[in-house]
């Protein structure tokens, strides 16, 4: 069976990325569209035919086990044992973290320094978002109490925002953007 981003395999699966000479350079475990998503460290093959699903319809533990076995078989470049660009021996990562783990991750993010947040923000500026990512962001905001998504601020909040904006000079371009609607809702204006 041929799998694609639009037609991913069922359940968990193990996949590999192939070089042009048909040798693997990355082994991974995935679910849904994982094998076709970009990562910072490992580039996707330029030819999608070089994304190979090795085995699918696995439990998560079976997928982790096969991933570890294959990484061990081919070896890792970073520790001079083989040809793969994997940075771990496999079998790691979180698919569905527990509420405890989510809470710890949230606390860690809240305690992040302003400098670290700015570095992370600068790293992602100018990076285009895929249509899937844009749709996901749009869906995540639906129903939230936010005037950009169909609900209005309370009168008190509007008054505070108005006070904050007083005395700021806006360019003609910004005023033109603010006066017109773009899409199904009015987009956020940056001052």
Share of the chain above pLDDT 70, in %: 82
**pTM (2 d.p.):** 0.52
Maximum mean pLDDT: which of 57-61, 146-150, 163-167: 57-61
Q: What are the E-state strand segments in the chain?
A: 12-18, 24-31, 51-58
Q: Are 16 and 74 in contact (CB under 8 A)?
A: no
Q: Are 37 and 78 in contact (CB under 8 A)?
A: no
* CB proximity list for 155: less than 8 A, separation 6 or greater: none
Q: Where are the domains of the chain?
A: 1-95, 141-179
Write out pLDDT tens, residues 30-89. Answer: 999 999 998 778 899 989 999 999 999 999 999 999 999 999 999 999 889 999 998 888
What one-character DSSP code corresponds to residue 42?
S
Maximum mean pLDDT: which of 37-41, 76-80, 172-176, 178-182: 76-80
Write out pLDDT tens, residues 96-129. Answer: 566 777 777 777 777 888 888 777 777 777 777 7
Furthest-apart CA atoms within the chain: distance in Å: 66
Of the ranges 33-42, 142-151, 170-179, which one carries the lowest mean pLDDT score? 142-151
Sheet hosting strand 51-58, strand order edge to edge: 24-31, 12-18, 51-58
Class of domain 1-95: alpha beta
- d(CA 134, CA 66) in angstroms, rounded, equals 33
Q: Are 68 and 27 in contact (CB under 8 A)?
A: no
Secondary structure (DSSP) of 89-136: -SS---SS--HHHHHHHHHHHHT--HHHHHHHHHHHTTPPPPHHHHHH
């Amino acid at each position: 069976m041929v799998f694609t981003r639009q037609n991913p395999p069922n359940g968990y699966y193990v996949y590999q990325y192939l070089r042009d000479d048909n040798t693997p350079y990355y082994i991974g475990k995935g679910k849904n569209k994982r094998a076709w998503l970009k990562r910072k460290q490992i580039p996707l093959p330029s030819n999608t035919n070089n994304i190979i699903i090795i085995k699918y319809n696995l439990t998560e533990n079976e997928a982790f086990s096969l991933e570890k076995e294959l990484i061990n078989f081919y070896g890792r470049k970073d520790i001079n044992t083989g040809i793969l660009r994997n940075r771990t021996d496999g079998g790691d990562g979180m698919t569905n973290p527990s509420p405890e783990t989510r809470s710890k991750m949230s606390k860690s993010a809240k305690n992040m320094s302003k400098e670290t947040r700015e570095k992370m923000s600068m790293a992602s500026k100018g990076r285009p978002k895929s249509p899937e990512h844009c749709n996901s962001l749009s869906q995540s905001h639906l129903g939230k109490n936010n005037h950009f998504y169909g609900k209005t601020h309370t009168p008190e909040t509007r008054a505070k925002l108005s006070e904050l904006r007083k005395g700021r000079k806006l360019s003609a371009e910004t005023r033109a953007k603010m006066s017109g609607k773009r899409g199904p809702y009015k987009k956020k204006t940056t001052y």
